[in-house]
Chains A and B, each alone.
Chain A
Amino acid sequence: MLLPRFEYRAARTVGEALTLWAEQPGARFMAGGTDLIAQMRTRRKVSRVVDIKQIPELNQIRESEDGGVAIGAAVALSALCEHPRVRERYPALVECACQVGAYALRNRATLAGNLCNASPAADTAVALLALEAKVVATNMDRSRVIPVEEFFLGPGKSALEEGELVTEIVLPARSAGFQGSYHRQSRRRGMDLASVAVLVAKGGEGAPRYRVGLVSVAPTPLRVRAAEELMEREGPSAIARAAEAARLACSPITDARASAEYRREMVGVLTARGLAALA
C-alpha cells in the first residue's frame, strides 16, 4: 500500500509542536510512528505529521516530583527497557514493554505512542493500568493529568482531546517495587499481537497488594479489582476464585486471532498462572 502524501514537520519544543498542530487542520502528532504510519497507509487521513522525537525534554526519563519516574513521550521502548532505574523500580512495566513487536521496532516505538493508539491489545497499557500511572497531556492553554484508568475509552479511543499532546507518563512512587508476571497467548511466540494476555503484579509494604490487568479481551485494557481484592483479602487460597473473577470481568470478541470463548477461557488460566507465579 502506498503512503498517501502528507507534510512532515519536526518540532524542537512542545510549544512549537502545539503550534504546528494548530495551524494545519488534519495534523497528527507522531512519536515512534510505528502505528500511525501503518494506519496512514490504510485508513487514517493525515495532512501533516508533527514529529515530537526531536524535542529534548520529551526524550528524558526523570525522577518525578512525588518520587516516582516520569517517562518522556519520545523515549523509545528499548531505552525504557534498558533504563536501570525503571528496571529496578518498575520491573512489571519492563516485562510487558519488551513484548511489544520486535527489538528493531522497539528502537522506534514509544510508551506514549502505544498508549495513545488505545489498542485493547497494547502490552504496555496493561502495565500502566496496573501501576496506576498518570498521563500528562498539554495543549495551548493548559496541562492536565489523566489517570491511566480513565484514559482508555474504547478501541482506538482515548480521553485525549483534539490538540492535546501527551508529554510524559508518570509512574507513581507507591507502585515502585511491584513485581510483574506477564502471561501472553499469541498465535506464534515471536512478533505477534496478544490474542489474550494477563499481567499480575504484586508489591507494596507489609500486606501484599495485587494488581490484575487483562489485554485483548475487552474494548480497552482492563483492570480486575475484584480479583485483586480477593487475593489481598484471602491470599493464595483465593487464586481459583480470583481467576474466575477475571474470567467474568472480560468481554472478549471473536476475531482472526482467537474466538471469544477461547479468550475467556485463557483469561482464567493465565490469571491463575500469574497469581501462582507471584504467590
Chain B
Amino acid sequence: MSQTKIVGTSVPRVDGLEKVTGAALYTGDLKFPRMLYAEVVRSPHAHAKVLAVRVDKALKVPGVRAVATGRDFPFHTGIYMRDQTIFAIDRVRFVGDPVAALAAETPEAAHEAAQLVEVDYEPLPAILDVVEGIKPGAPLVHPDLGKYYVESFITPKPGTNICNHLKVRKGDYEGALAKCAHVFENTFTVPQVQHVPMEPHISVARVDLSGKVEVHTSAQSPFTVRHLLCHCFNLPHGDVEVVVPTVGGGFGGKAGINLEPIAVALAMKAPGRPVRVAATRAEEFYATVVRQGLTATLVTGVDKKNKVQAQKMYYLWDCGGYGGYGVNVVRAAGYTCGGAYHFPNVWGDSIGVYTNKPVGSAYRGFGMQEIHWALEQQMDRVAHELRIDPVEFRLLNCLGPKKTTVTGQLLEKSSGRVDKCIEKVDEVLKLRARGKKKPFHGKGIACAVKAPAMPNNAASSVIMKFAEDEMLEILISGIDIGQGLATVAAQYAAEALDLPMERIRVRMRPRTDFSPYDWQTVASRQTWATGNAVLRGCEDLKRQLFEVGAQALGAPVSRLELKDRKVIDKKTKKSVPLAAIVVGYQFPDGHTIGGPVATSAHHVPDGLLFLHPETSQCSKPVAKWTFGAQGVELTVDPETGNLRIERLVACYDVGKVVNPGLIKGQTFGGIVQGVGTGVMEELVIDGKDGRPRNASLMDYKIPTALDIPDKMEAFYVETPQLDGPLGARGIGEHTMIPTPAAIANALYDACGIRIDSMPITAEKVLKALKEKQRREKEGEDVQPAAASVAKVRPPARATRREAGRERPGGVRARRGRAK
C-alpha cells in the first residue's frame, strides 16, 4: 500500500469519550456481591529468617474470613525465573516481602487483623548495595538459586548473588584496546525508581465452588497472568479466567504477574467469595516492583581517526530481592550494551545482582534509559576530551546500514537510521552551527536504541468479526494503557478494508475465556505485532467477502474490489453492500450462501535466534530496532543549581507514523517521564535497614505540568520496517530513553560539570559548580571533563593486558592516557 487514507492521520482516540466521561470502568470500580477485602502482612526487615508465623489472634477478629501464609502455598512463581513464593516461607528478602495475607468483610477488619499476625524473625545481614552483593563471600540472598526453574536464556550463578550474567564478546577487545591512541573510563549510577501509575495495582479473585478461578486485575498481560497463575497453583489453563478492565497506567509495572497470586491464594481459602487485594500508594513504591538500579563502568578506546575501536561495558544491576522479571532486563541490556554505536571490538558484561531491596522489574525502556545514561555521557565526554564536536563524533561512530551491533548482527537499510535522527536534532537545535555561547546556557544531545525484549515466540493474535449491520468488531488482548493501541488497531483495519473509523469497534477489555491469545503488552511491540495480525486478518475477511461477493455478483474474484462498504465488480460497476454479505448472502429466490464473516489472525516474530551462550554473538537476536535522538537546550541558575529546560527536541525513526497525534502524545509523555527520572526521581532505600525513606507522593516527586520543558518538538524519520505493519516499528518506550543523558550533556555544555549519578538535582549541580570553582581557584589543571563530580580516578598503572582479563570489576582506571 503506497498511499494510505487513514493510517498516517490523526484520527481521535477510540477510547477517548469513555475515559473523559468516566464511563470506563477500572478494576477498583468493580463491586462484586459478598466481596472480601484483603490486607497483606509484609516484612519489616530487609533480610531475615522467618521462624514462625502465628495467625490465631488475627483469625479471632470479627469479620475475618481467610488467612493465607507461605506454608499454605509453597509454590514458586516468576516469569523468567521462578525464584519467588507467593508468601515468604522461611526467609524474607526485602522490606515489604509478603509474609501472610488476610481477607475480611471490611478493609478495617482486615487491617486490624493484619496487625495481630505475629511473625518471629531472625534478622540476617542485608545486601543493600550491588557492589557489596557481588563480592566473594557476601551473604546469599538466595541460597537455593541452583534449584529454581529458569528459562534457558537466563544464566544465574548458584552460590553467588548473581541472578543473571550475559557476556558479550565481539572481535578482539584486548588487542584493539592496546592499539588505541586514547582510552577513557568512567562510572555512572542510576537509582531504583518507581513507575507511579495513576492507578495502583489491584486484583480481585474468586474461586467458585466448582474450582474455577476468575481474576479481574489491573495488568498489562492477561494471558501471561493466566499462564503464570496456572503454573503457580498447578491448574489447567481452562479453569482460570483472567479479565482485564480498563487499566490506569502500567509503564511496565503491571507486566508479568504481581498481586494476582495473593488474591487467588486468599480466594482459595474463602471459596465462593471474591477477594480484592489493592496496593496502597506506599506499597506501590516499595512492595510491588521498581526499576532496577544500575552501576555502569565503561572503557572506551579510540584510534587516531576518532573512531572507537574497543569498548568495554560492565553493568551491575540492582535487581532487588527477586529476579523473576528483572533478569531479562539484564539480558536485554547485555545484547544492547553498545547502544546506538558501532563498536568493532566489544567486551560486555551485564550482571544482575540480588540485593535486599525492592524487586526490580520491567519499566518503560527495559534497562535502556539506564545504560544510555552511561553510554551517551561517555560518548560526550570522549568527544569533548578529544576536542571533537559531540555530534560529529556520534555520526562518525553510530550504527547504520552495513554496520554491526555488539552481537555481530549486520544492520540493513531497513533497520532504521540513527544518523538521520542525530542530523535532524542538530538541524533544529543548531548544535553544530551555533552562534556565540551565553554563559550557563547549553545544548546537548543523546541517542537511543531499543529492541523488543521478549521470547523469540512472543505472539499476538486478533479475532475479527462482523456484526449484522456490518460493524467490524476487533477483539484484541493487547492492553491499551494509554498508548493508543485500540485506535491504531482500528486504523489498520479501516485502511485495509476501506471502512470508516466509526464502523469499527475494538474490544479492548480482554477475558482470556473469549479473547485471542496475546503474550504481553510490553516491549513497544503492540502496534507492530497486533497491527500485523489485524492486517493479516483483514486479508482473510476480504477473501471471505469476495468469495460470497463473487457468487452474488456473478463475477470472478479477480474483478472484485472492496470499497465504500461494498464489494464492487470493477468491470460492471455492479456492487453488493457488505451488510448483505456479513452474516450470509441471500439471493432473490431466498436461498442463502456464505455465513457470518469472521476470522482470527496472528503475528509471531520471524526468524529470531538464541544468543551464543558465551559470546552472545547472533545474527538476529531481536525482531527490530528503533533508533532516535533527543536534544536539550537549557539554562542553569549558578546560584541555586536549578535547571530550566527551554527546549527538548526528539527525533525517531519509527518506520511509519500511524497516527501523528498519538505518536506526539507518546513522545511528549516519554520526554516528561524522562525529565522526571532525569532530574528528580529516586526511591531512597536506607543504607542501614533497607527501609524506603520516601514511599509517598509527598516525598517521591514526579513532574507536574510546571516541570515540563518550556517547548517540546517531535520529528520522525520513516525508514520502513520490512516486517512492520505498513512499515511501522515500536516507539512507546524509546521516547524516554535518551532524555536524562541529553540533559546531562547540555548541562556540561552550559557550565562544564558532569553529574554521573541520576537524578540531576539542583543540589548536585550546585555542589559540582562549587567544586569546579574551587579547582579553578586553586589553579588545578582542569581539563573540561575532569570537572566531574564523580570520583576522578588516578592515571592508570594497569597494563594493557589487564584491561581485558575476565573478572568482575575488571576495568582499570585510565583516562586520556595517550594525550
Q: Taking beta carbons and an 8 Å cutoff, which residues of A are in contact with B?
A: 1-2, 5, 185, 187-193, 256-259, 262, 265-266, 269-270
Collect the chain B residues with CB atoms within 8 Å of residue A192's CB. 701
Q: Is the CB of A266 within 8 A of B761?
A: no
Q: How far is the CA of A188 from the CA of B766 in the complex (A)?
A: 16
Q: Is the CB of B280 within 8 A of A262?
A: no
Q: Is the CB of A190 within 8 A of B706?
A: yes
Q: How far is the CA of A86 from the CA of B658 in the complex (A)?
A: 53
Known A2-B111, A192-B701, A269-B640: A262·B707 in contact at CB below 8 Å? no
Q: How far is the CA of A133 from the CA of B108 in the complex (A)?
A: 43
Q: How far is the CA of A269 from the CA of B770 in the complex (A)?
A: 14
Interface footprint category on B: 20 to 34
Q: How far is the CA of A226 from the CA of B623 in the complex (A)?
A: 68
Q: How far is the CA of A270 from the CA of B642 in the complex (A)?
A: 13
Minimal Cβ-Cβ distance residue in A for B700: A256
Q: Is the CB of A188 within 8 A of B701?
A: yes
Pick from A188, A257, A266: contact of B707, CB below 8 A: A188
Q: Is the CB of A189 within 8 A of B108?
A: no
Minimal Cβ-Cβ distance residue in B for A273: B639
Q: A185-B762, A188-B703 are in contact. List 4 more A-B contacts (CB 8 A).
A: A190-B706, A262-B767, A269-B639, A269-B640
Q: How far is the CA of A275 from the CA of B761 in the complex (A)?
A: 26
Q: How far is the CA of A191 from the CA of B699 in the complex (A)?
A: 11
For the complex of A and B, the 9 pairs showing the least CB-CB separation, nearest first, are: A190-B704, A190-B706, A189-B706, A269-B639, A262-B763, A188-B707, A187-B701, A256-B699, A188-B701
Collect the chain A residues with CB atoms within 8 Å of residue B766's CB. 262, 265
Q: Which of B648-703 contact A (CB under 8 A)?
A: 680, 684, 693-694, 698-699, 701, 703
Known A189-B706, A189-B707, A265-B766: A1·B280 in contact at CB below 8 Å? yes
- Distance in angstroms from B694 CB to nearest chain A CB is 5
Q: How far is the CA of A60 from the CA of B297 in the complex (A)?
A: 63
Collect the chain A residues with CB atoms within 8 Å of residue B706's CB. 188-190
Collect the chain A residues with CB atoms within 8 Å of residue B20's CB. none
Collect the chain A residues with CB atoms within 8 Å of residue B282's CB. 1
Collect the chain B residues with CB atoms within 8 Å of residue A187's CB. 680, 701, 761
- Distance in angstroms from B248 CB to nearest chain A CB is 19
- Distance in angstroms from A224 CB to nearest chain B CB is 19
Collect the chain A residues with CB atoms within 8 Å of residue B698's CB. 193
Q: Is the CB of B107 within 8 A of A2?
A: yes
Main secondary structure of the interface of B (DSSP, over half): loop
- Distance in angstroms from A98 CB to nearest chain B CB is 13
Q: How far is the CA of A185 from the CA of B640 in the complex (A)?
A: 8
Answer whether residue B705 sits at the interface, using C-beta atoms and an 8 A cutoff. Answer: yes
Known A2-B111, A188-B701, A190-B706: A256·B762 in contact at CB below 8 Å? no
Minimal Cβ-Cβ distance residue in B for A266: B640
Collect the chain A residues with CB atoms within 8 Å of residue B680's CB. 187-188
Collect the chain A residues with CB atoms within 8 Å of residue B280's CB. 1
Q: How far is the CA of A236 from the CA of B639 in the complex (A)?
A: 20
Q: Taking beta carbons and an 8 Å cutoff, which residues of B are in contact with A?
A: 107-108, 111, 280, 282, 639-640, 642, 680, 684, 693-694, 698-699, 701, 703-707, 761-763, 766-767
- Distance in angstroms from B676 CB to nearest chain A CB is 9
Q: Is the CB of B704 within 8 A of A189?
A: yes
Q: How far is the CA of A259 from the CA of B770 in the complex (A)?
A: 15
Sampled A-B contacts (30; CB under 8 Å): A1-B280, A1-B282, A2-B107, A2-B108, A5-B108, A185-B642, A185-B762, A187-B680, A187-B701, A187-B761, A188-B680, A188-B704, A188-B706, A188-B707, A189-B704, A189-B707, A190-B706, A190-B707, A191-B704, A192-B701, A256-B684, A256-B693, A256-B699, A257-B699, A258-B763, A259-B763, A262-B767, A265-B766, A269-B640, A270-B640
Q: Is the CB of B108 within 8 A of A256?
A: no
Minimal Cβ-Cβ distance residue in A for B699: A256
Main secondary structure of the interface of A (DSSP, over half): loop
Collect the chain A residues with CB atoms within 8 Å of residue B701's CB. 187-188, 192
Collect the chain A residues with CB atoms within 8 Å of residue B707's CB. 188-190
- Distance in angstroms from B558 CB to nearest chain A CB is 63
Most central of A187, A262, A265, A270 by chain B CB within 10 Å: A187
Q: How far is the CA of A12 from the CA of B4 in the complex (A)?
A: 68
Q: Is the CB of B694 within 8 A of A256?
A: yes
Minimal Cβ-Cβ distance residue in A for B280: A1
- Distance in angstroms from B283 CB to nearest chain A CB is 10
Q: How far is the CA of A189 from the CA of B282 in the complex (A)?
A: 23
- Distance in angstroms from A183 CB to nearest chain B CB is 9
Collect the chain B residues with CB atoms within 8 Å of residue A259's CB. 763
Minimal Cβ-Cβ distance residue in A for B108: A2
Q: How far is the CA of A258 from the CA of B762 in the complex (A)?
A: 10
Q: How far is the CA of A269 from the CA of B640 in the complex (A)?
A: 7
Collect the chain A residues with CB atoms within 8 Å of residue B694's CB. 256
Minimal Cβ-Cβ distance residue in B for A102: B704
- Distance in angstroms from B541 CB to nearest chain A CB is 48
Minimal Cβ-Cβ distance residue in B for A38: B698
Minimal Cβ-Cβ distance residue in B for A193: B698
Q: How far is the CA of A185 from the CA of B643 in the complex (A)?
A: 12
Collect the chain A residues with CB atoms within 8 Å of residue B705's CB. 190
Q: How far is the CA of A214 from the CA of B282 in the complex (A)?
A: 31
- Distance in angstroms from B116 CB to nearest chain A CB is 15
Most central of B111, B282, B763 by chain A CB within 10 Å: B763
Minimal Cβ-Cβ distance residue in B for A262: B763
Q: How far is the CA of A187 from the CA of B675 in the complex (A)?
A: 13
Collect the chain B residues with CB atoms within 8 Å of residue A193's CB. 698
- Distance in angstroms from B674 CB to nearest chain A CB is 15
Collect the chain B residues with CB atoms within 8 Å of residue A188's CB. 680, 701, 703-704, 706-707
- Distance in angstroms from A195 CB to nearest chain B CB is 9
Q: How far is the CA of A265 from the CA of B642 in the complex (A)?
A: 14
Q: How far is the CA of A258 from the CA of B763 in the complex (A)?
A: 7
Collect the chain B residues with CB atoms within 8 Å of residue A265's CB. 766
Q: How far is the CA of A259 from the CA of B680 in the complex (A)?
A: 15
Collect the chain B residues with CB atoms within 8 Å of residue A1's CB. 280, 282
Q: How far is the CA of A1 from the CA of B684 in the complex (A)?
A: 20
Q: How far is the CA of A133 from the CA of B640 in the complex (A)?
A: 31
Collect the chain B residues with CB atoms within 8 Å of residue A266's CB. 640
Minimal Cβ-Cβ distance residue in B for A258: B763
Collect the chain A residues with CB atoms within 8 Å of residue B767's CB. 262
- Distance in angstroms from B193 CB to nearest chain A CB is 14
Q: How far is the CA of A256 from the CA of B707 in the complex (A)?
A: 19
- Distance in angstroms from A265 CB to nearest chain B CB is 7
Q: How far is the CA of A217 from the CA of B483 in the complex (A)?
A: 43
- Distance in angstroms from A261 CB to nearest chain B CB is 8
- Distance in angstroms from B536 CB to nearest chain A CB is 46
Q: How far is the CA of A191 from the CA of B705 in the complex (A)?
A: 10
Collect the chain B residues with CB atoms within 8 Å of residue A269's CB. 639-640
- Distance in angstroms from A90 CB to nearest chain B CB is 25
Minimal Cβ-Cβ distance residue in A for B638: A269
